[in-house]
Amino acid sequence: MLYQLALRNIWRNRRRTLLTLSAMIVSSALLILALGIFSGMLRDMLATATEQYYGHLVISAKGYQDDRDMFRNFPMDKAIGNVLKQDEILGYSQRLRSFGLLSHQQNSSPTEILGIMPSQERTVTSLQDSLIEGDYLTSDDPNGAVLGSGLAQRLNVVPGDHLVFVTQAADGSIGNDLLLVQGIFSTGDVGHDNTLVLVPLAWLQQVLVLPGQIHEIAVKTDQPLNAAAFAEQYRVNFPAALEILDWGEMLPEMREVVASYDVSRMIIVIILYIATGLGILNTFFMAVMERTRELGVLKALGMRPGQIRTMILLETFIMGSLGVLCGAVVGVVMSFYMALVGVDLSGTLTPITYAGGTILPRLHAVIEPGNILIPSVCLLLVCLLAGFLPANRAAKMQPVVAIREE
Amino acid sequence: MKVTIYFKTLLLTCLLLSGSVVFTLAIDLRELIRTVEQQYTGQSSISEVEMTVVTGHWERHLKMESWSLGRERFLVRILAPVKEKGVATLKVENEVWNFLPKVDRVIRIPPSMMGGAWMGSHITNDDLVKANHIDQDYDFTLLEETNESWRIEGIPKPDAPVIWGKIIYQIRKEQLVPSQIDYFDEEDILVRQILFDDVQTVSGRTIPLKMTVLPLEDPKEKTVMHYRKLQFDVDLKEDFFSLGHLKGRR
């Protein structure tokens, strides 16, 4: 009976109900969309940091990631190979790194060179998708090079040009050899676009006089946000001279960005819902005030205060659920549109590199359960809270005073 | 010019011998440092040097020949080991080029790489470019004087484009040669030492033939340059210091 009463009360003043409902729907739908886009930006940042360079996990000699000392190298062996057989590992790439001078005719520039095996590297990083000229390295390429667009511009090279790379080899000699430009990539990350060069692993091993040695193995997993847990798991029975780091340890700023995202998400939800909550409170208060007489009659007829409170709370709960449901549907539909199509802002904005990741100039949503659940649950709570005050007031009214009220 | 240097050196020596405090104050410190910094090059020179570089990971011995003219021109080519034979460096004024025979290319060292090691040693490209300007870029004061030596401190002029925060020279009075040079960074921390030994008289000049560079951050590392042949005031023209000669084509 209480339920029916509540339903009837809701539909008695349609205009008011619809206005309140639309406020709830719009606020939750927009919040879902905003959080989706926010998550999209975060995903872009994490992806640029890990999928363009680091990988989700990196295996290297202890201390190598701190000083990138050429002599902290190691050979690939069975123990490492066994770890890399896990199901959640989607791919790994053996790399050798060197810093040196890259030169073409009168132009020269300091660079970071990564010796890679193309078939392995493309399972970890997605640089092959960022090519703007030429092609990616192929497995039988003896001395090809794929370099960043900023570097290519500074050296004034196009695919087909020769480059000279000079560095100090592991035996102290002056390592130098020719490279042939194969492709040019542009990732939006200025640091990589201006300094990074990919070359065949065997070529770099020969130039550095480090046959068979590598500096790191970059690993891609199927759950980037669980990388730390995987790393912890693999550390058991791992060779003592080596260490496994997850992206959070290599990019602590990035980990903080991810953590701060959860906080800022809550702050946005709270601010928006304080405003929405006040609106809902206002509506319900008015609805109760309007019905003072009627509630007084109900009480005089023998309805207990608890029942009146329950009835009004039921009203708010029904409206809240309706609002949440419609809001979620509209929000998800809008997020889907932004996920599939998105908005390109590259005409007005340039990419921003921050904490090792790059925020791309686009609005692109990702759909995560949390981004829909959190706004929905919060809206419902706000609704019940807003209904509680007027419900309490109604319950405490004296029937005689209430009936006399104009 | 040459005559003036000789004259001043002579004058200095006379002053020294006289031993008068009043007169020693009159020594031209700037001129003295200039002489010290240019001891291996002079007006022009040809030399053969053996360089030993020791690090925690490797040790290597290089044999090189070098030519110099005035302050601004300098060419050095590796003679041994075979793997690096023909690798050469040319410095003309503020520019440094390297020639790599393996790939037959000349590479200009960009300003950002000037702090990098030269030929894998503990000498930087900057040392090649800036050492010859130390007397112009620094102001000198006499810190201490004993019967055998002077200690002279060099502090960079306010707007001089230098890398060191302070340089202290220890100079032997008798022979007018340095025995030790200490290099300090901007935080006044001693970061590099150069020691000089094996003082001999070569083509009329008294100079230390052995020079040891110690980068103090790593006590295991050092670079030793030992001059085997040294000839001053030879007939060299400016056009000898060209990119063509850098490649070893005459």
pLDDT digit string, tens, across residues A245-302: 988 888 888 888 888 887 888 888 888 888 877 877 887 778 778 888 888 888 888 8
Decide if B40 contacts B227 (C-beta within 8 A).
yes
Q: What are phi and psi of A13, to 5 degrees?
A: -115, 85
- Polymer length of chain B: 250
| A172/B120 CB distance under 8 A | yes
| Residue A373: pLDDT over 80 | yes
Any residues with CB less than 8 A from the CB of A390 and at least 6 apart, and which? A281, A284, A285, A287, A288, A289, A312
Kindly identify which residue of chain A lies nearest to residue B88, measuring between CA atoms. Answer: A174
Higher pLDDT, A131 or B18: A131
Distances (CA, A) of B106 to B68, B100, B148: 19, 6, 46
Is the sign of the CA dihedral A356, A361, A367, A371 positive or negative?
Answer: positive
Is the sign of the CA dihedral A319, A325, A328, A333 positive or negative?
Answer: negative
| Whole-number Å distance between alpha carbons of B57 and A171 | 8
Query: At A233, is the secondary structure helix, strand, or coil?
Result: helix
Q: What would you measure as the largest C-alpha separation in chain A, in angstroms? A: 103
| Residue B244: pLDDT over 90 | no
- Reference B153, options A378, B165, A132; nearest CA is B165
Residues in chain B within 8 Å Cβ distance of A108: 107-110, 113
Chain A, 186-215: which have a CB under 8 Å from a chain B CB?
A: none
Judged by a CB distance cut-off of 8 A, whether residue A263 touches chain B is no
Q: What are phi and psi of B54, to 5 degrees?
A: -120, 130
Give how far the C-alpha of residue A136 lies from the chain's centroid of Cα atoms, to the nearest Å: 27
| A164/B112 CB distance under 8 A | no
pLDDT of residue A48: 79
Q: What angle do CA A111, A168, A243 make, to 5 degrees?
A: 75
CB nearest to A164's CB, from B59, B107, B109:
B107
Kindly identify which residue of chain A lies nearest to residue B116, measuring between CA atoms. Answer: A100
Banded pLDDT at B245 (limits 50, 70, 90)? confident
| Whole-number Å distance between alpha carbons of A269 and A283 | 21
Give how far the C-alpha of residue A392 lies from the chain's centroid of Cα atoms, to the nearest Å: 43
CB nearest to B87's CB, from A109, A110, A174:
A174
**What is the least distance, in Å, from the CA of A155 to any CA of chain B?**
12
| Whole-number Å distance between alpha carbons of A295 and A338 | 47
pLDDT of residue A18: 87
| Whole-number Å distance between alpha carbons of A68 and A60 | 10
| B102/A177 CB distance under 8 A | yes
Encoded tokens for A21? 């409902």
Encoded tokens for A145? 């090079």
Decide if A381 contacts A278 (C-beta within 8 A).
no
Find the distance separating the first CA and the last CA of chain A, reported in whole Å: 27
pLDDT of residue A207: 92
Amino acid (one-letter) located at A349: L
Beta strands in chain B (DSSP E): 44-54, 59-69, 73-80, 88-92, 95-100, 105-108, 138-145, 149-156, 166-172, 177-184, 190-202, 205-215, 222-232
Residue with tokens 């419609």: A326
| Whole-number Å distance between alpha carbons of A283 and A327 | 19
pLDDT of residue B8: 54
DSSP A138: -
| Whole-number Å distance between alpha carbons of A160 and A158 | 6
Residue B175: other Cβ atoms inside 10 A: 16
Torsion of CA A279, A282, A283, A288, to 10 degrees: 160
Mean pLDDT within A353-378: 81
| Residue A87: pLDDT over 70 | yes
B170-226 tens-digit pLDDT: 988 888 888 999 999 989 899 999 999 988 888 778 888 999 999 988 888 999 999
Chain A, 16-75: which have a CB under 8 Å from a chain B CB?
A: 71
Decide if B223 contacts B61 (C-beta within 8 A).
no
Kindly identify which residue of chain A lies nearest to residue B59, measuring between CA atoms. Answer: A172
Any residues with CB less than 8 A from the CB of A157 and at least 6 apart, and which? A104, A147, A163, A181
Chain A, 153-172: which have a CB under 8 Å from a chain B CB?
A: 164, 166, 168, 170-172
| B84/A173 CB distance under 8 A | yes
| Residue A96: pLDDT over 90 | yes
| A172/B53 CB distance under 8 A | yes
Quick one: angle between helices A292-300 and A305-340, nearest 10? Answer: 130
Judged by a CB distance cut-off of 8 A, whether residue A140 touches chain B is no
| B110/A177 CB distance under 8 A | no
Mean pLDDT within A145-160: 93
| A171/B113 CB distance under 8 A | no
pLDDT of residue B250: 46
pLDDT of residue B23: 43
Residues of B in CB contact (< 8 Å) with A are: 53, 55, 57-60, 83-84, 87, 98, 100, 102-103, 105, 107-110, 112-113, 116-117, 119-120
Kindly identify which residue of chain B lies nearest to residue A168, measuring between CA atoms. Answer: B120
**What is the least distance, in Å, from the CA of A171 to any CA of chain B?**
6
For an interface test with A, which of B76, B107, B118 has the most A Cβ atoms less than 10 Å from its Cβ?
A: B107
Kindly identify which residue of chain B lies nearest to residue A178, measuring between CA atoms. Answer: B103
| Whole-number Å distance between alpha carbons of B202 and B43 | 15
A325-355 tens-digit pLDDT: 999 999 999 998 988 888 888 778 777 777 6
For an interface test with B, which of A72, A73, A98, A101 has the most B Cβ atoms less than 10 Å from its Cβ?
A: A101
DSSP A406: -
For the ranges A204-218, A299-313, B154-168, the maximum mean pLDDT occurs at A204-218
A66-79 tens-digit pLDDT: 888 889 999 988 88
pTM score over 0.90: no
Distances (CA, A) of B131 to A57, A224, A308, B86, B98: 46, 52, 93, 25, 19
DSSP A50: I
Amino acid (one-letter) located at A11: W
Residues in chain A within 8 Å Cβ distance of B62: none
Residues in chain B within 8 Å Cβ distance of A176: 100, 102-103
Decide if A28 contacts A323 (C-beta within 8 A).
yes
CB nearest to A171's CB, from B58, B100, B107:
B58
pLDDT of residue A292: 81
pLDDT of residue A203: 94
Beta strands in A171-276 (DSSP E): 174-185, 196-200, 213-214, 216-221, 242-246
| Residue B240: pLDDT over 60 | yes
Q: Which of A110-119, A249-258, A316-325, B52-61 has the lowest mean pLDDT?
A: A249-258
Q: What element of type H or E holds A134?
A: strand A131-134
Kindly identify which residue of chain A lies nearest to residue B113, measuring between CA atoms. Answer: A110
| Residue A59: pLDDT over 70 | yes
| A176/B103 CB distance under 8 A | yes
Judged by a CB distance cut-off of 8 A, whether residue A180 touches chain B is no
| Whole-number Å distance between alpha carbons of A9 and A64 | 70
CB nearest to A110's CB, from B83, B113, B120:
B113
A169-219 tens-digit pLDDT: 888 888 889 999 999 999 888 888 999 999 999 999 999 999 999 999 999
